[in-house]
Structure 1
Amino acid sequence: MKRRTFIAGVPAATAALSLDGAVSAQSNPTAAQPGFQPKDAENYARPDVHAGDRPVGASFASRSTVYGRSGAAGSSHPLATLAAIEILKKGGSAVDAAIAMNACLGFLEPTACGIGGDVFAMLWDPAQKKVVGIAGSGRSPRSLSLETARSRAQDGALPAYGAVTVSVPGAVDGWWTLHQRYGKLKWADLFEPAIAYASEGVPVPEVISHYMRRGMANFVKPGRGIEEVENAKKTFGVGPGVGEIFRNPDLARTYRMIAKGGRDEFYQGAIAETIDTYFKRIGGWLSKADLAAHKAEWSDPYATDYRGVTVHALGANTQGIATLQMLNMIEHFDMRGAGFQSARSIHIQAEAKRLAYEDRARYYADPNFSKVPGEWLVSKDYAAERAKLINPARINPKVDPGKAPSRGDTTYFTVADASGMMVSMIQSNFRGMGAGLVADGLGFMFQDRGQLFSLQPGHPNLYAPGKRPFQTIIPGFATRGDAPWLSFGVMGGDMQPQGQTQIVVNRVDYGLDAQAAGDAPRWHHEGSSQSMGEDLPGLGPKGILRLESGVPDATRKALVEMGWVMAEPDGGFGRYQCVEHRMSGNERVYAAASEMRADGLALAY
């Protein structure tokens, strides 16, 4: 189904709101209300009905890019974007605004993020004139042995939920570390918007409501292996309906504690004590000692040139370099000549994905435990070898990882300020809101990121105590020459490198602007080998290719003739925000974009 979010009048209307006036208090978050669903909503899901015609620009664009001179922000919730803009107007840096926005999203979009999860960021440091990276990724509990983890395995892999999947939440320390270097406002000031929202309550938009209800229904199903779900039910109920006001006073209280006590309150103070007591009570492993030992790491991003644009990616334990590998292979083909949304274009991109993801499953892991051959993986020479495996007219029946030289649901948001600093940040509890576990009275769910450890002997991502699991969350950043260009990201598990690649190709090869590049119909390939050493069952060596409904029928038919196994679209095409840096003469201009697949928007001033 092709959908377009009606939001043309929102920026002007939203700009007039203050945080005090933007929220009101009404109903019980645990109430099972249907929300403000239109009558006969299923009748609107019609593939033969498309959005109205825009007078200019791409026919598929949902709205115009927004422009400003002093700052810009984009997120998956309008109120989070608004909070970031207000922080900038108070004199805060882009880092200040990003932290405030992330704290808001932890309440507003708990389906995708929260302080029970990890955070990664890349930013343009205008003083150093370079891209800087930070990895706020937590480690597995030191008291959880490999033998115990294997005893909880299901079909050879760690389960999706419960205490065995919980690793140390890295978000709060990541925020603190960024603020210590780049913050301008007081730490406590950054939590005021989120505390106000969580205390007073806000109406829940359509997409977030959908995923909250789906997540909560999943947690309470028999056989999920979650040690306790009563705290999650107390915090989130069955999930609010569309337009229903939701509040989280427990999270507001936790935010007040962090605002007052800093990161130490979370990792060493009363919050850490509560977490420690909770996991002992339910028979889990995360402890106060694990929290106290945590520290975010500054990381020098990898980079590659793609037709004159430098694309940056975090290494560490993330899948970031998959984007660079894909672009390095795609560069060997004439994408502009192939044609936008053509079968040849999608085929080349998806084949590059299949090749890169075999390496992703074989080599990506915590570099503190495994020697990840990152420089080799993103090298142009290796990409040239791999590109030879792509037949522009036919799918490769089976792909394998390269042989290294011998040697030992997520939320994305972006913000830019008047100094030229641009922050690309992504934060997640991993799939389905997280592990299903909420510590007593804290109001946030712990991540289930540990599910992505492998249990295969000899695998670089093999589970070990005190190790960081493979991470899917990756921010995106691109520069031109000695200047920033794009701070961007595409959320959604394994879709993230695929989505980032499509954004870069849409911008560089097809000349789309920031908004149209995100609104363009996407493809999503599933079925590559997984980082935990398990292939998705039943998909075969070719996997499956999903196309959004906006892809031309002729393209779909030609891909089938090339040998692709097609599947119906399932909504798993990611969600995108972007801030672009450009110049108007000698003056800086920011162009910001969001998209129709999420509830958010971008604002600039």
Structure 2
Amino acid sequence: MIPFEISKHSQPEFIFNSRRSPVYATKGMVASSLPLATEAGLEMLRSGGNAADASIAVAAALAVIEPCSTGLGGDGFALFYNAADNKISSLNGSGKSAREMTLKKIQDMGIHGSLPERHALTVNVPGAFGMWCDLIDRYGTLTLSKIFAPATRYAKEGFPVSPVTASLWKTGEEEILMASPGGINLLLNGKAPRAGEIMHNHALGEVLRQLSLHTPQEAKKMFYTGKIAKKIVKAVRENGGMLSAEDMSAHESLWGESIKTEYRGYEVHECPPNGQGLAALLALNTLENINLADKGNPCSAERLHYQIEAMRLGFADARLHIADPHVYKTPLTTLLSKEYGTKRAHEINPEKANQDAEHGVPLNSSDTVYFNVIDKDGNGCSVVNSIYMNFGTGIVPEDLGFPLQNRGHNFSLDPNHPNVLAPGKRTYHTIIPGICLRKNGSLHSVFGVMGGFMQPQGHMQVISAMLDDGADPQEALNRLRFCIESGDAGGKVCLEEGISDETIKQLSEMGHQVEMKSGYERVLFGRGQIISREEETGTLCAGCDPRSDGVAGGLC
């Protein structure tokens, strides 16, 4: 028998061949897509930190150990539940487009339809770090030196790469990372690290160390006006982008109230536009009128048909109305009214897919991280960080150790669309954290499913599992999923391996264009985490997606 050696073993197949149990705790819980990131959050809770401190420790750790999906070159959104007053705050950490960039300039370049996926033109101001600082400044209790300590340690001392992360890393090895001079910091001997190999990122470790020497607001100013900002601008402009120092220095996060709908007697909360949480709420508002429990088991054709159709209608409205809130006022009151939800439910044909409606045409990217925390006092934090597509643009500024996002690819180039490209504008954003409350305002759960346009679909599916069927967080995440992929008005529906041939046959006969996904293609269906809190005892229950390398961990 050949002995097992990390340096020689091959990439394992992506199969579900083991059972995951929910994790229970009483004095705090953290869940993320990687064990080392979860441990970073737990380190904060053990040190007396709260949900905000732990969340940003996780965010910083993931920036180091999963750079293909997240980092300081991306954006972030957060929902924070304050147990002291049962209030939810929404924090929008998305950045604006370059103020030099006009639709006419893009048209004069011969670009139509959408901006090219990986081009420097798609780099908006990266808002994630500003969001981190603002969340800590308002709700945190620990210093940045404490919060960034695990991430800095991983970057400087090294960390073993996890299997799903290694697979994502591999896809960016040549065409992305090696095209950027700074990409060498994200390669191991010129190649993507394999699962189990030890990776360092000394450049990013030094950036985090320097930032950690300051207060959150000082660090924020340092990032957006100092040497880091200059290097970001230099990298973008050298690659044909238009971002400027003025764009960077003008960046601010947006604090606000969450948007919500009632579903089965609970309140489901999302960040308002320009995030796409509205799509999930619209789908749930439609399904509120349909008794899913009477529509067969969770993977029956009848139940999946109603969920797919509700999600298509949600995308249709979301893609039409989501844009920069400072530029376009989304008609939230009308869209989220129960009357509108009832109207949309009546538009679903129980026996046939609607091929004629104007649906949204979602694209898909799973290169995002979601994580959540509930602390001993019952505060909850739900956070998504992303650089959009795998390694974003692939542009890595020299000596910074992180890639820049390509979020501007989501802008419309239709001059009549609310989300049309314009100078200094936030684009339609896919990343959405979620929180669920009971009617009395107590925290039911913090939840999320990462992965581009899969996110609202994942939100709808896990909320339905918990509130329609009473599934615990782990069971809700274990369930097989569907994902509406880009295509024609009917929208191709991808189904996860394990859904029965009979269900596939029935959905096809209803008019759905169906495609099965297996192996590592299953990352299409997202990677999520859920933590719930029992009202009377405060007991925490967490689940972590089996499609990820992640884990949930708690304190007692």
Settle same-fold status: TM greater than 0.5. yes
Give the CA deviation at 1:283: 4.1
Work out whether 1:545 is the aligned partner of 2:496: no
**8 Å CA contact 1:35, 1:240 repeated in 2:** no
**Which digits, 9 at most, give the CA deviation of each residue in 1:52-89, with x for residues without a partner?**
6xxxxxxxxx3111111100000011000011001101
Give the residue type in structure 1 aligned to 2:494.
R
Give, in whole Å, the separation in 2 of the partners of 1:296 and 1:563.
Answer: 44
- Per the alignment, residue 502 of structure 1 pairs with 461
Q: CA–CA distance in 2 between the matches of 1:429 and 1:38? A: 28
Once the two structures are superposed, residues 275-307 of structure 1 have per-residue CA deviations (whole angstroms, 9 ceiling, x without a partner) of 234344444322221111111111211111101
Alignment of 1:198 onto 2:161: no
Q: Kindly state the Cα deviation for residue 270 of structure 1 after the two structures are TM-superposed.
A: 2.2
Contact 2:494 / 2:514 at 8 angstroms: preserved in 1? yes
What is residue 123 of structure 1 aligned with on the other side? 80
Q: TM-score, normalised by structure 2?
A: 0.92
Cα deviation for residue 544 of structure 1 reads 1.0
Correspondence for 1:27: none
Aligned with 1:121: secondary structure? strand
SS state at 1:603 partner = strand
The structural deviation recorded for 1:234 is 4.2
When residues 151 and 88 of structure 1 are mapped into structure 2, their CA distance, relative to the original with a 3 A threshold, is: farther
| Residues 78 and 382 in structure 2, CA contact (< 8 A), matched pair in contact too | yes
Rounded Cα–Cα distance in structure 1 between residues aligned with 2:168 and 2:14: 18
- 1:38 Cα offset (Å): 4.2
Matches within 5 A, 1:419-438: 419-438=377-396
Shift of 1:401: 6.4
Output the aligned Cα RMSD: 1.9
Report the identity percentage. Answer: 38
Q: Does 1:597 align with 2:555?
A: no
2:471 to 505, 512, 530: 512
Offset at 1:34? Answer: 9.6
1:230 Cα deviation (Å)? 2.4
- Secondary structure, aligned partner of 1:432: coil
**In structure 2, C-alpha distance between the alignment counterparts of 1:280 and 1:475, rounded to whole Å:** 32
CA distance in 2, matches of 1:215, 1:575: 19
SS in structure 2 at match of 1:207 = helix
Match of 2:180 in 1: 229
**Retained in 1: the 8 A contact 2:430–2:452?**
yes
Aligned residues of 1:486 and 1:581 also touching (Cα < 8 A): yes
Shift in alpha-carbon separation, 1:345–1:217, aligned structure 2, 3 A:
farther
- Structure 2 unmatched ranges of 5 or more: 361-366
Residues 197-236 of structure 1, C-alpha deviations (whole Å, 9 max, x = no match): 0001111011000001102234279xxxxxx522224433
1:161 maps to 2:161 = no
Deviation at 1:371, TM superposition (A): 2.2
Q: Encode CA deviations 1:357-407: one digit per residue, 9 max, x unaligned.
A: 1112211111111121122111111111111110112111221269xxxxx
Q: CA deviation at 1:554?
A: 1.9
Instruction: Report if aligned partners of 2:235, 2:395 keep a CA contact under 8 Å in 1.
Output: no
1:416 Cα offset (Å):
1.1
Is residue 71 from structure 1 mapped to residue 28 from structure 2 by the alignment? yes
Residue 96 of structure 1 corresponds to 53
Question: 1:240 offset after TM fit, Å?
Answer: 0.5
Distance in 2, matches of 1:212 and 1:276, equals 25
From 325, 331, 341, give the equivalent of 1:383: 341
Q: Give 3-state SS (helix, strand or coil) of 1:232's partner.
A: helix
| Matching residue of 1:59 | none
Q: What secondary structure does 2:541 align onto? A: strand
1:505 and 1:152 mapped to 2: Cα distance? 46
CA distance in 2, matches of 1:426, 1:153: 34
Contact 2:177/2:186 (8 A) holds in 1:
no
Check if 1:440 corresponds to 2:398: yes
Aligned AA for 1:521? Answer: L
Give the secondary-structure state (helix, strand or coil) at the position aligned to 1:167.
coil
Q: Residues 428 and 193 of structure 1: is their aligned pair in 2 closer, same or farther, counting only changes over 3 Å?
A: same
Kept in 1: contact 2:359–2:490 (CA 8 A): no
Mapping of residues 528-567 of structure 1, within 5 Å = 539-567=487-515
- Of 302-311 and 371-380, more deviation after overlay is shown by 371-380
Q: Which moved more, 1:247-256 or 1:364-373?
A: 364-373
Give, in angstroms, the shift of residue 168 of structure 1. Answer: 0.5
- Aligned amino acid, residue 211 of structure 2: I
Residue 151 of structure 1, CA deviation: 4.2
Q: Deviations over 1:301-353 (max 9, x none)?
A: 11111011110111131111111100011111110011221111100000011
Q: 2:444 — aligned with what? A: 485
Instruction: Kindly state the Cα deviation for residue 432 of structure 1 after the two structures are TM-superposed.
Output: 1.5
Shift in Å, 1:148: 2.4
Find 2:538's aligned residue among 563, 581, 588: 588
Decide whether aligned partners of structure 1 residues 45 and 220 sit closer, same or farther in structure 2, where only a CA change above 3 A counts.
closer
**In the aligned structure 2, how far is the partner of 1:35 from the partner of 1:175?**
36
- SS of 2:230's equivalent in the other structure is helix
Is the counterpart of residue 410 in structure 1 residue 360 in structure 2?
no
Q: Hey, what does 1:272 align to over in structure 2?
A: 229
SS in 1 for 2:148: helix
Distance 1:437 1:156 in 2: 23
**Pairwise CA distance, 1:422:** 0.6
Q: 1:340-379 residue pairs with structure 2 within 5 A?
A: 340-379=298-337
Residue 51 (structure 1) shift: 3.0
Q: Give the TM-score of the pair, scaled to structure 1.
A: 0.85
Secondary structure, aligned partner of 1:587: coil
Task: Give 1:240's aligned amino acid.
Answer: P
Distance of 2:200 and 2:112 partners within structure 1: 38
- Matched with 2:529 is 577
Q: Is the 8 A contact 2:52 2:136 kept in 1?
A: yes
Distance in 1, matches of 2:111 and 2:240, equals: 19
Q: Give the conservation status (yes or no) of the 8 Å contact 1:75–1:412.
A: yes
Q: Which moved more, 1:506-515 or 1:72-81?
A: 506-515
In the alignment, residue 537 of structure 2 is paired with which amino acid?
E
Instruction: Within 5 Å, give how 1:147-296 maps onto structure 2.
Output: 147-152=104-109, 154=111, 156-219=113-176, 229-236=180-187, 237-261=190-214, 262-296=219-253
Distance 1:298 1:543, change over 3 A: same
Number of residue equivalences? 533
Q: Distance in 2 between matches of 1:164 and 1:153?
A: 13
Letter matched to residue 568 of structure 1? M
Instruction: Name the CA distance, whole Å, in 1 between partners of 2:352 and 2:83.
Output: 46
Amino acid at match of 1:446: L
CA 1:335–1:370 in structure 2 vs 1: closer, same or farther (change >3 Å)? same
* CA positional deviation for 1:460: 0.4
Tell me the residue number matched to 1:462: 420
Aligned equivalents of 2:108, 2:50: Cα separation in 1: 47
Equivalent residue number for residue 17 of structure 2: 51
Relative to structure 1, the CA distance from residue 241 to residue 360 in structure 2 (aligned partners, 3 Å threshold; closer, same or farther) is same
Partner of residue 363, structure 2: none
Residue 263 of structure 1 aligns to a residue whose secondary structure is helix
In the alignment, the residues of structure 1 paired with residue 27 and residue 108 of structure 2 have an alpha-carbon distance, to the nearest angstrom, of 55
| Aligned-partner Cα distance in 2 for 1:191–1:215 | 26
Q: Contact between 1:311 and 1:478, CA under 8 Å: does it hold in 2?
A: yes
Establish whether residue 37 from structure 1 lines up as the match of residue 9 from structure 2. yes
Distance 2:481 2:229 in 1: 42
- CA displacement at 1:152 relative to structure 2: 4.8
Measure the CA separation in 2 of the matches of 1:415 and 1:182. Answer: 13
Distance in 2, Cα, partners of 1:394 & 1:316: 31
